[in-house]
Structures are given as C-alpha cells and as structure tokens.
Structure 1
Amino acid sequence: MTNSPTLCPEDRLRQFGLRPTRQRVALADLLFAKGDRHLTVEELHEEAVTAGVPVSLATVYNTLHQFTDAGMIRVLSVESSRTYFDTNVSDHHHFFVEGHNEVLDIPVSNISIGNLPEPPEGMEIAHVDVVIRLRRKDRREGAQ
C-alpha cells in the first residue's frame, strides 16, 4: 500500500484498515496535507493546537504509533532523545542536520547499499536505514 496524495484522510485511514475517528482524520489531514515530511510527536501536536484541533499529546503519540503499525508512516530513530515519523514509507535514506533537528530525504538514486551481511538463520533483512549526519561548516574555515 502507498500513501496516495489524492486520497482524503478518511479514505486513507480506511485503506490502511483504520477507523476514521474525528481525531485520526484531523491528525492525518495535518500530517499528509503538506506532502512528504518528517515530524516528531511534539511538532504534530503543536500543529494540531495551532489548527484548533483539541487533542492531547498522548493522543497524538498513540495515533502516530497506530499509523506506524498500519504502515501509513514509518519511524525514524536518528537520535536517542527524539523520534521522527516519516510520511514517505518508500525505501529511502536520510540526512540529519545536527543542532537543527532537521531530517532531509536522500534521493534513492544517490546511494547504493551492497555487501550486506547474511542475516542469522530464519531471519531476513526487512529494511536498511542509512542516516548521514551533517553539521553546518564553520564559516571561519577557509577565511584565513
């Protein structure tokens, strides 16, 4: 299943087997209305409050995990203190801008993964996540 940008929130929820409750619909609308993006629970909660959606932080957390379990979004663990949720569930990798808490997609054609180890008996590789950490260059470099 894919996240079709043309589906209304109710149909998107139904496509992934979720009942379209008022809060799920409102959060799905906020989450997918701006295209592919990477958000934390706190960021989506702030957007909901700003949009006048009466929802608790716990509800946003639970809803994002329901969306993840259903396959609508995926979890990105790029730093230990913060979890990002990615609306693009296709196979792709990420840049993480340290100090700015910004996650950017790496176009799939720009990276190739090879020589992966054999998984243990009875296991298969489900997904490979590459996160390349970036930091802003010191502007003083090269100005000497």
Structure 2
Amino acid sequence: MHAASHGTARAGVRHLLSHAGLRPTRQRVALGEILFNKGHRHVSAEQLHDEAVTARVPVSLATIYNTLHQFTEAGLLREVAIEGTKTYFDTNVDDHHHFFVEGSNDVLDIPAAGVTIGSVPEPPEGMEIVRVDVVVRLRPRDRT
C-alpha cells in the first residue's frame, strides 16, 4: 500500500471509530486498519496480535482484547463464540450465521437466508431476543 492509499485508509478508520462513538487513538486506528482494510473476515485476539506485531504496532494482548471488546460494544465487530475457549471477532456485522471447520479452526459466513429457524423459546419476563447465532460445525469427510 503506498502512502496516499495508506493515508486514505487511516482517515476512513478514524471516521469509522468517531462515528461509532470511539475516540480514534493511535492504537485503535492502527488496529482498525489491520481489522477493516482486508474485507470481511474472522479473527481471534491472538491472530490480531500476531498481525499487529508483524505490522510493527506495539500493543499487548490485553490491549487487543480490550480493543476488540470496545469495537464489539460500539457495533463495529460481532463476537462469534465457537466454544468457551474459541472466540472470533467478525468484521461483518450484518445478520448471518457461521460454519466452523474443526481442525483448521476456519470460520466461514453463511448468509442469513441460508438458515431457517422454525421457532425460538419465549424469553423470560422483561427480556427480549437480540439475535440467534447458528454455528454449523464441519470436518473433512473420511476419504476411505
């Protein structure tokens, strides 16, 4: 990426953060560039930390977690919990579901229209359903 496009990307991330109500700090902008300038994708905190280190962005793993949660609370990311220990952050916040490929730990989008949900339980008194997340687990077929 040459300097002009890099500056444009940085301005876009600054605007995105400001519009979401987040102060565009240097670290947030740098992490936002890494997250949002590669199209829709799913990343773990550890993956983002590795990418930040490669991009020479001095940031701790704790700061990565805090930033990912701030971005999620602001509506910029969607948290996808696969298991208790596997959490990914999705840059696509539109209504959709996910495939999870066991073994490779890849997360792939399923369009919302690709899943039909017959019914959901009534929420407890005073609560409302925000969304329903479907994770379809995949593995390669046994080729024998």
TM-score, with structure 1 as normaliser: 0.89
The alignment status of 1:51 with 2:25, answered yes or no, reads no
* Unmatched runs of 5 consecutive residues or more in structure 1: none
- Aligned equivalents of 2:123 and 2:84: distance in 1? 25
**What's the CA shift for 1:114?**
2.3
**Corresponding residue to 2:45 among 32, 41, 46:** 41
- The structure with the greater share of residues assigned to helix is 2
For 2:114, the equivalent position in structure 1 comes to: 110
- Percent of residue pairs identical: 64
- Aligned equivalents of 1:118 and 1:105: distance in 2? 27
- Aligned equivalents of 2:106 and 2:88: distance in 1? 10
SS in 1 for 2:27: helix
Amino acid at match of 2:60: S
**Alignment RMSD:** 1.4
Amino acid at match of 2:129: I
**What's the CA shift for 1:26?**
0.3
- Runs of 4+ that moved beyond 6 A: none
* Unmatched runs of 5 consecutive residues or more in structure 2: 1-8
The alignment status of 1:64 with 2:87, answered yes or no, reads no
The alignment status of 1:119 with 2:123, answered yes or no, reads yes
- Aligned equivalents of 1:115 and 1:23: distance in 2? 43
For 2:141, the equivalent position in structure 1 comes to: 137
The alignment status of 1:81 with 2:85, answered yes or no, reads yes
- Aligned equivalents of 2:52 and 2:24: distance in 1? 17
**What's the CA shift for 1:138?**
1.2
For 1:20, the equivalent position in structure 2 comes to: 24
Amino acid at match of 2:26: R
**Corresponding residue to 2:100 among 71, 89, 96:** 96
Number of aligned residue pairs:
135
- Aligned equivalents of 1:29 and 1:14: distance in 2? 14
SS in 2 for 1:96: strand
